[in-house]
Copies of this chain bind each other. A is one copy, B any other.
């Protein structure tokens, strides 16, 4: 009965070696990480934007937004719990791994090399980003330190390359749900920050489908809510 209470607040302090982290990954109350019918006009699927209502007003996002989108407003953004979590997602990150849909809406072979990602000329990564895809493409160097590398050899290859590039810093797995599940099933993620948003998606990609977090040794070490989201940190227990 007290097991759970004890575990809250057990979050690890600074680690000395590269950790693989999921950060600011939002799910709906019914467990979905994106809505259904994702498309170029609706990259987060039907209703999926509401997942990020806690993130978009934060100072972290507002600052980031101005740096990659000249149309972004000048508001400072909010501080507090939501911003603390937004901020930690970018701390000590030496490389990212993302699924192809987080790079862009194109499926199948690349028709040409014109699409350079959702994020404009100066994407908010500023480190090497490994994009999992079935379709090879030369690396794409952007402004501000971001280079996209297209990995066709699977999640282990991406992780090995990201680890080398991170050079002692951490690796952030961006998503989507399917990519996170693949790494979870292989026991390769050290820590996850999940935000539960007060919205219902009804259908889509469930983050925790096909994974058994308990069996994989994860526990909830932090649980704290704002009005916009319940923030959770999962860590693997040191078995």
Contact = CB atoms under 8 A, between A and B. Distances in A.
A interface, size bucket = 35 or more
A214 B91 CA distance: 35
A12 interface: no
A234 interface: yes
B213 A30 contact: yes
26 contacts: A1-B53, A4-B53, A4-B197, A4-B198, A4-B199, A5-B53, A8-B227, A29-B194, A30-B31, A30-B208, A31-B206, A196-B196, A196-B230, A198-B232, A199-B220, A200-B218, A200-B234, A201-B214, A202-B213, A202-B214, A202-B216, A203-B214, A203-B215, A225-B225, A225-B230, A230-B230
Task: Please give the count of copies of this chain that the complex contains.
Answer: 2
Contacts of A225: 224-225, 230
Interface of A: 1, 3-5, 8, 29-31, 47, 49-50, 53, 56, 194, 196-203, 206, 208, 212-216, 218-220, 223-225, 227, 230, 232, 234
A7 to B, nearest CB: 8
Q: Is the interface of A mostly helix, strand, loop or mixed?
A: loop
A203 B210 CA distance: 10
A119 to B, nearest CB: 20
Contacts of A47: 214
A196 B229 CA distance: 12
Contacts of A196: 29, 196, 230
Nearest to A194: B29
Counting chain B CB atoms within 10 Å of each CB, which of A3, A212, A225 scores highest? A225
Contacts of A213: 30, 200, 202
A206 B206 CA distance: 12
A184 to B, nearest CB: 11
Contact of A220 (B29, B56, B215, B227): B29
A223 B198 contact: yes
A202 B50 CA distance: 26
A156 B77 CA distance: 51
Given A1-B53, A8-B227, A212 B202 contact: yes
